[in-house]
Amino acid sequence: MSAGPLPTIHEVARLAGVSVATVSKTLNRSGKVSELLQARVNAAARKLGYAPHASARSLRSGATRILGLLVADLANPYFLKLVESIEWLSSAAGYSVILCNSAEDPGREERHLAMLLSQRADGVIVIPTRRGWSGRQAALADLPMPGILVDRRIEGLDLDSVTTDNVALGRLAAEHLDDLGHRRIAVIMGSPEHQIARHRLDGLRSGLASRGITLDERLIEKDNFSEAAGHAAAMRLLRHAQRPTAIFATNNHLSLGLLRAIAESGLTIPDDLSVIAVDEPPWAGLVRPGMTIVTQPSEAIAQTTVSTLLSRVSEGRSGVEGEARSIQLQPALVVRGSTAAVRT
């Protein structure tokens, strides 16, 4: 915070003894400029510490090289991983990222979207809030720039999307538990209105069914996605007359609550109970025998998201409409010590 006003392209041009057009062409490597003048221009620019004015540039050129990243909930470690990767990839591709946290509040989400529109972001990546989309798909559909949904899809909205195959995720858990001989399997599923939770449960159910096992509906705990809810649900399950031999927690918060409940009950994993969770929480190392998990391919999701969006961006706003790509990526099973063969 010392220098006065920043140098403009005109001052660079004057110092180099050329026209502003030549400076622009040199700095952008567009058009033909002789070696000699290029050298003079570059020297002048360096000497003055010239930094092109992004607003002026985008006003004229129509591109901002800014991406909007609208996240439903930054506190969710899985979303955070996505944010990290997306920021990394975007900046590698020469784009800056405006971060917006909607904190699961549709109102904030809408305001942020309006801001990104005013900002003329070249593209918008949206991890949408769980609720409040019923009447507001329009806000996204009418966006004049390319947009892409991540992790959660919005029903009835014709937009590119990248998500985990959550049915497959549930099925992976089912197959693993069956392989270990489990029959009394419980699920802490979170909110039954949430599409993702439903898909995971469906996957589990159908996976078990295809092995000839019927999921006991009384062992499905539904509530919300908080740690407290996970804890409460776990407590109910553990007090059950016939305790389940395995529990599937469909989300990070829930599994944290589950683990706390198990610790408080003095039970031992996996001797008394097998546990399988979703995604690698940062504290996975704390669970003694290691956590068996089904993971979403966050890296690949980020990568696909950014490359799909950027390809739409370069297609131009004239990109052929009505053929939204909806990409599903496959989860993976990571077996560690928290699941074991059922005691006979």
Partner DNA sequence: TGGTCTTAGTTAAACGTTTTTCTAATGAAG
Partner DNA sequence: CTTCATTAGAAAAACGTTTAACTAAGACCA
**Applying CB under 8 A, which residues contact a second copy?**
1-6, 49, 51-56, 58-59, 64, 66, 69, 74-75, 77, 80, 83-84, 87-88, 91, 96-101, 103, 108, 111-112, 114-115, 117-120, 141-147, 159, 227, 256, 259-260, 263-264, 281-283, 285-288, 312, 317, 319, 321
Q: Identify the residue among 39, 43, 47, 56 touching DNA (CB under 7 A).
A: 56
At 208, the amino acid letter reads: L
Judged by CB under 7 A, the chain residues 3 through 42 that form the site for DNA are 5, 8-10, 17-22, 24-25, 27-28, 30-34, 36-37
The phi and psi torsions of 259 (rounded to 5 degrees) equal -65, -40
Of 100, 103, 66, 95, residue with least CA distance to 83: 100
User: Shortest approach of DNA to residue 120 CB, angstroms?
Assistant: 9
Q: Which residues contact 118 (CB under 8 A, 6 or more apart)?
A: none
User: Shortest approach of DNA to residue 122 CB, angstroms?
Assistant: 14
User: Shortest approach of a second copy to residue 235 CB, angstroms?
Assistant: 14
Whole-number Å distance between alpha carbons of 273 and 237:
11
Q: Residue 57 or 183: which CB sits closer to a second copy?
A: 57
Contacted by 283, from DNA, a second copy, none: CB < 5 to 8 Å by type: a second copy
End-to-end CA distance of the chain: 72
How many Cα atoms sit within 13 Å of 330 on the Cβ side? 4
Q: Residue 19 or 224: which CB sits closer to DNA?
A: 19
Quick check: 117 binds DNA (CB under 7 A)?
Answer: no
Whole-number Å distance between alpha carbons of 96 and 339:
43
Q: How far is CA 214 from the centre of its chain?
A: 33
Contacted by 10, from DNA, a second copy, none: CB < 5 to 8 Å by type: DNA
The phi and psi torsions of 118 (rounded to 5 degrees) equal -60, -40
For residue 57, CA distances in Å to 23, 24, 62, 209 come to 13, 10, 8, 59
208 burial via Cβ count (<10 Å: 0-12, 13-18, 19+): buried
User: Shortest approach of DNA to residue 63 CB, angstroms?
Assistant: 8
In the complex, the residues that contact DNA under the rule CB under 7 A are 5, 8-10, 17-22, 24-25, 27-28, 30-34, 36-37, 50, 52-53, 56-57, 59-61
